[in-house]
A and B are shown apart, each in its own frame.
Chain A
């Protein structure tokens, strides 16, 4: 039995019913598979929780944070909901477009960066909020973007 399966069963033990652990199980699987859920991840989770892969896929596809396509090395998402938009999320987005050379919704040719827009991340008073590989940063201004991108490029090199 795989190490992932053991971790999933360990998490499942915290719940009165095993199916309750499906989200944490998928989170562990996504972490294990480099930030996305390939078909074999669903099979592994299904085996550990004694459910079907179809059920696991049904759950994963309901939620935004599970990725069903291979992830770029770094994913940058800019909140464009009303509070962030009102204070200039569009300019932050454009700054990332310039710095990354990638349009919103697209992945750079080298597969290093994906730039996306995203609904409210829950930091409206500290706009603009962005998420880099699901880690939030708040109060991002367009002029902060070059340094952020430089930092991200440095990380990957």
Chain B
């Protein structure tokens, strides 16, 4: 606790820690200092809008309260008790309104607009501005998801500060000078960055609005449902704004330990997938020569029951890791207890050994040393973690990336060895990790035993005794670990041999989209898919049962920190809840599973969560404490050898194809037209040396070839990328094999 100082705000005494901002100090005294530009999450205050002018004893001029900090004995007078401060505040509001169009009746911000509120409370009733206002074309799209109305803009620079100092994409900027300053992107290029949508929430007026929410609702018609984003393992807290049973927008809901109120564009703008044209609304059953046909629910369940009985335990279940804990558990009870079908294909999960190094994600932001190991970019796996890394770097931390495009270059597949090498006596980085009180290790990529190797490293570096040190694994799916645990606790029989596979059950669209699951489907006699979208399983499933989205579910999930969080149903799904029909189906096999999520949770909680109730998983769930370190099972991975570098310049060596799953991908994103601009271009990234050897420069059209197959892509030279690899987004890689050659076309 820092030193306390005593101040007077509008004749009220207040004690706050020295250095507290005056806005917060006044709030502690129960006094409001109105602000527009002030937003502590955006970095140091700028004092631009001048809404917060206050009088401070001993200072001749009015001061911008947001730029000063509490000092002992300070006497502050706000507009409430100082005529001078009130004059200043009135002056500011009058100036802000001089060019503002006051088009509140047609403005989306109306009703939830700080400018409207402050004008109503403090502003002049009439205008003295009788000359021409500044006019601009309105509104203009700065991207397919964001509209900009420059006439409404009050130039608080919140959006540009976010772009420059938080997301660090520096694409939304102020241009020109003085009265003619405006917010813009470069030329006509869209604001294309993973966190762009936050500027809509930051804007204190109706200048930056969401194109999705445009003219959709008024604040008095909406409800905001507090829930959790289900699109990546971070589990950012969100509010789903609904009107008349439809989701209209997603807003961030500040959880200071997880997301600090920031939300990526995938989490924010993907909700229209609920209304996708190919959404499965009725059960579908394959008929000979007629394909999939809609059937009544009873008939569908009869068909599934028949398939299950015929399979006689030769069932494999492929899970997506997007299920709620309750769904996975109910599915497990039905299949494992009811049928003895224990075989499951589980998504990449997180090792429980990491519980010994558990900490809030915010720990990264205050670290002094962060080492990120793995093949994938952090932003593609858990984008909010990338913002924490940027914050750490801005605060002076050393962020070292060990990977194919890292400062420490490591070939794909070699990351686990690089992690192990940190424990070597000679490792300088290892020595720094060992001696730091604020060090964080992050695993960002496949392999590594789902963080097991990371846990071993953290243990070897002595992280247990140091609460400021933490280790995080970034899994590929939102809830894989808890899904695996729920599935596993549903029954305690041993693994059975499913071969030959008579029935494959595919839970979720992500599993349905997976190539390895497709291979299983070809082996299985029959396949049942539980999915939201017909496009994914329409061609090969025998039965499709409609699924719900995370926005339509009650239940719990566990994020990558190991934090239990609660999903709340924002809107009713157009299809029955999974738990409802799972419960009915289970009953046919003599298994009793509740149809409501809280009851399911109550049943499973003693098995894996120490018996806490769903009610205890509250809206801003704190993180459980650290567990004692339990060594994970040892590594059983085989390393993939990197291709040898060519010795003869004329003999071009093969490149290793590295596929990655970009942030803007997946079945939901694919169904939102306004997000398509965020998807990666058809590009192959090459190291400078590899490109040079082939006479390729950025922008060249190249052919990426492997045995018998080829894909045409644009080349991009990435100076950070390790030699010997060709990096391509999954969706552009087609059927390429792991060894490829790249030739200029």
Contact surface of A with B, Cβ cutoff 8 Å: 39, 42, 51-55, 57-58, 61-63
Contacts and interface: CB of A to CB of B under 8 A. Distances in A.
B173 A58 contact: yes
A55 B177 contact: no
A43 to B, nearest CB: 9
B171 interface: yes
A57 B182 CA distance: 12
Contacts of B174: 58
A55 B173 contact: yes
Nearest to A55: B170
11 contacts: A53-B187, A54-B170, A54-B172, A54-B173, A54-B185, A55-B164, A57-B173, A57-B187, A58-B174, A58-B175, A62-B177
B169 interface: yes
Nearest to A63: B177
A52 B170 CA distance: 6
B736 to A, nearest CB: 29
A52 B176 contact: no
A63 B170 CA distance: 19
Contacts of B176: 61-62
Contacts of B173: 54-55, 57-58
A61 B175 contact: yes
Given A61-B176, A62-B175, 17 more contacts: A39-B186, A42-B186, A51-B170, A52-B169, A52-B170, A52-B186, A53-B186, A54-B171, A54-B173, A54-B189, A55-B164, A55-B173, A57-B173, A57-B187, A61-B175, A61-B177, A63-B177
Nearest to A64: B177
Interface string B175-191: 11100000011110100
Q: Most B CB atoms within 10 A — which of A51, A52, A57?
A: A52
B114 to A, nearest CB: 25
B170 A57 contact: no
A61 B184 CA distance: 11
Contacts of B185: 54
Contacts of B170: 51-52, 54-55
Contacts of A55: 164, 170, 173
A57 B171 contact: no
Contacts of A39: 186-187
B186 A57 contact: yes
Top 3 closest pairs, chain A to chain B, by CB: A58-B173, A54-B186, A61-B175
A5 to B, nearest CB: 13
A54 B175 CA distance: 9
A53 B172 CA distance: 11
Contacts of B171: 52, 54
A120 to B, nearest CB: 16
Contacts of B186: 39, 42, 52-54, 57
Contacts of B172: 54
Q: Most A CB atoms within 10 A — which of B171, B173, B185?
A: B173
Contacts of A54: 170-173, 184-186, 189
Interface string B409-425: 00000000000000000
B169 A57 contact: no
A17 B488 CA distance: 55
A52 B164 CA distance: 10
Nearest to A54: B186
Q: Most A CB atoms within 10 A — which of B169, B174, B175, B185?
A: B175
Contacts of A62: 175-177
A131 B187 CA distance: 29
Contacts of B187: 39, 53, 57
A61 B187 CA distance: 12
Nearest to A62: B177
Nearest to A58: B173
B176 to A, nearest CB: 5
A63 B181 CA distance: 12
Nearest to B169: A52
Nearest to B698: A47
Contacts of A53: 186-187
Nearest to B168: A52
A57 B175 CA distance: 7
A55 to B, nearest CB: 5
A42 B187 CA distance: 10
Contacts of B169: 52
Contacts of B164: 55
A22 to B, nearest CB: 12
A123 to B, nearest CB: 23
A63 B172 CA distance: 18
A15 B84 CA distance: 44
Contacts of A57: 173, 175, 184, 186-187
A26 to B, nearest CB: 14
A157 to B, nearest CB: 36
Nearest to A60: B175
A101 B554 CA distance: 76
